[in-house]
Amino acid sequence: MPPAALHLSARILRALGLALTIAALPVVAVAQSNEILPLDQVRAGMQGYAYTIFAGDQVEKFDLEVIGVMPNFLGPRQSIILVQLKGPKVERTGVVAGMSGSPVYLDGKLAGALSLKLGIFTKDPIAGVTPIKDVVGPPAQSGAQQFPLPLDASAVQKSTTTFSLPTGSTLSPIETPLVFSGFQSATLQQFAPQIQSFGFVAAQGGTSAPRPDDAHLVPGDMAGMVLVQGDASINSACTVTAVQADRVFLCGHPFLNLGDVQLPMARSRVLTTLSSDLASTKIVNVGGSIGTITGDHLTAVTGKLGAPPPMIPLDLTVATPIGEKKLHFDVVNHPKLTPLLVAITAFNGLTQNAIYGEGTTLHLTGEIRLHGHTPVQIENTYAPGDVLIPDGLPIAISVQNIFARLFVNTFEVPEVERIALRVESVPGRQSFTIDSAWLEKGEAAPGETLRVRVLLHPYRGAARVEETTVRVPDQIARGATLRILVTDGDTLNRASRGFAFGGSSGPSGLDQLIAVLNRERRNDRLYVGLFMPSPTILWEDKELPNAPLSQINVIDGRPAPGSVQVLRESLASESSVPLGGPVSGVISLNLQIR
């Protein structure tokens, strides 16, 4: 072959090799632009494209066309770009849950983040795009900066734009999948109303081992918040819009509109995209932690790459006659999220393991350690009921209520250091109903100890009599009539503390609230309380029985200073009998003092 021909052939081979090399590069590496397109340059009919992941780790491009701009859609001066998605994949799936945040390019410049979808069962995949200036902030003054600084949280409207119009033709935020790994659908169904009230779309997924490249994010990748991790996990998942140094902008709309937060951020990896006429969604595995979600605002979720913030360790031990199992989780520390997350995680850990079985009586003990405060002690017993709910659900609800009372206090944000829960299971239903009660005699002298007998009816068993005693106070006046209350722990709690817990008569500090929680009586004991006809002053976490008339006159009928309440009776003495199962019922007896 002539030298000229050889030279030409070599050039052709080099050119072909270069073309193949370029073709093998990821799409985003050759098509991504760092230039920003201002909103005032967006016009109807403009052709563009966006990036997302449909399966695997491959960021894919799909086309779109601008329908128009909707000024003031999210709020004053917060507009939306309306676009129609094009291409075989998006025309089959429509707008997909988890696609929110997908970066949108017009004229080769970054124009915004996919954030809204139009209607349900619509034939055309029409979506809303949050302009990029609202995602990452006002335009930068220096041309050297690829992306401007994030928008100040104080300038963002603190309410999620939601729609409940019945027409099915409104723009609403693209759902952010809440990925549950290690959870069965039966668990999620028990908490479905609460999950839906937060606006979540619950999706089952898995976890993948952390990779060295987890933190190497590009627009179109997926990431989200870590809510629970460990032997089971809960994470959100949406698409990355932009990355500026160690700053990450994603979702294009709020997760829960929580404002400034400190929540772990993790990589999400897509297995596949499920196409559905009702709600297409991405099926994802959650990867390793890559940093901190720092903001959750109207037009974007923002994060910072690096070390994640600390979480609350939760240890759960389940003990049954056939064995014991220990589980460990880490839960985010947030007033609005922690109570529900602890309830879901505890319920799932209790019921979704091989040693747990229905039809058992469950004894719960535990401790919540708070930084700088006395630990909160937990103890109660729960028996199977007659309604068709899992036996473990009352435990989850009880734990959720305790955390709600801790986190909604108006004194300080509790810093929870550790949660330890232990559930012991006993076969069968151990519960008791108070049928009747009587005194050994109808009158007593001051200082006398009196026997009280109670007839209890267990579930499916022979009735039995339990006996205990109460002591009449020495200072009681002769001729007085006392009231003896034979009841369960909850009724005696309310009778001795009043019914207006948490209001003006509640504790005035976190220490006082913890003291009240730790003093509350347990539900697996029979209680007998002796009440005197003299007022009790409830002041914060303190009970002042037999209050003098001079003090009562100052308080009664007037606005109480601080947290003060007056009860018309004083609990003079009490006793209890442990029974090993929940007790219900109330009997009131009168005792004459001779």
What are the tens digits of pLDDT across the range 244-274?
999 999 998 888 888 999 999 999 888 877 7
pLDDT computed for residue 566 by the predictor = 60
Selected residue with higher pLDDT from 400 and 166: 400
Overall average pLDDT of the 154-182 stretch = 59
What single letter denotes the amino acid at residue 138?
P
With 50 as the cut, is the pLDDT of residue 205 above it?
Answer: yes
Query: Quick one: tokens of 433?
Result: 């109903």
Arithmetic mean of pLDDT, 66-73? 89
Predicted local distance difference test score (pLDDT) of residue 452: 95
Most confident of 4-8, 89-93, 165-169, 544-548: 89-93
Over the stretch 39-62, which tens digit does the pLDDT of each residue have?
999 999 999 999 999 988 889 999
Q: What CATH number belongs to 29-137?
A: 2.40.10.10
Residue 381, pLDDT > 90, answer: yes
The answer on pLDDT for 234 being more than 80 is yes
Looking at the DSSP assignment, which residues form a beta bridge with residue 379? 365
Domain boundaries 312-427, corresponding CATH code: 3.10.20
- Cβ pair 305, 289 in contact under 8 A: no
The pLDDT, as a whole number, for residue 184 is 83
The arithmetic mean of pLDDT across residues 563-581, rounded, is 80
Judge contact between 110 and 134, C-beta under 8 A: no
At 548 the pLDDT is: 58
* pLDDT tens digits along 128-143: 999 999 898 744 333 3
pLDDT at 295 over 90: yes
50-64, 145-159, 567-581: which is most confident: 50-64
Neighbours of 72 (CB within 10 A): 10
Q: What is the mean pLDDT of residues 353-367?
A: 87
- pLDDT bracket for residue 243 (50, 70, 90): very high
Crossing angle of helices 338-351 and 393-407, rounded to 10°: 160
What is the average per-residue pLDDT within 294-302? Answer: 91
Residue 160 has pLDDT above 50, yes or no: no
Tell me what pLDDT residue 121 has. 65
DSSP strand pairing (464-471 vs 449-458): antiparallel
Lowest mean pLDDT among 10-14, 286-290, 391-395, 547-551: 10-14
* Per-chain mean pLDDT for the chain: 81
The whole-number pLDDT of residue 549 equals 52
How sure is the predictor about 195, in pLDDT bands with cuts at 50, 70 and 90? confident
Q: Return the structure tokens found at 313.
A: 């360790």
Domain ranges of the chain: 29-137, 172-305, 312-427, 432-593
Q: Round to whole Å and give the CA distance between 58 and 283.
A: 14
Asked if the model's pLDDT at residue 584 lies above 90, the reply is: yes
Say yes or no to pLDDT of 204 above 70. yes
Give 319: exposed, middle or buried? Use CB within 10 Å, 0-12, 13-18, 19+: middle
Residue 186's pLDDT is 81
3-state helix, strand and coil shares in percent for the chain, rounded to the nearest 5 = 20, 45, 40
86-104 average pLDDT score: 88
Secondary structure E strands in 511-560: 525-532, 536-539, 542-544
Query: Among 265, 240, 258, 237, which Cα is nearest to 250's?
Result: 240
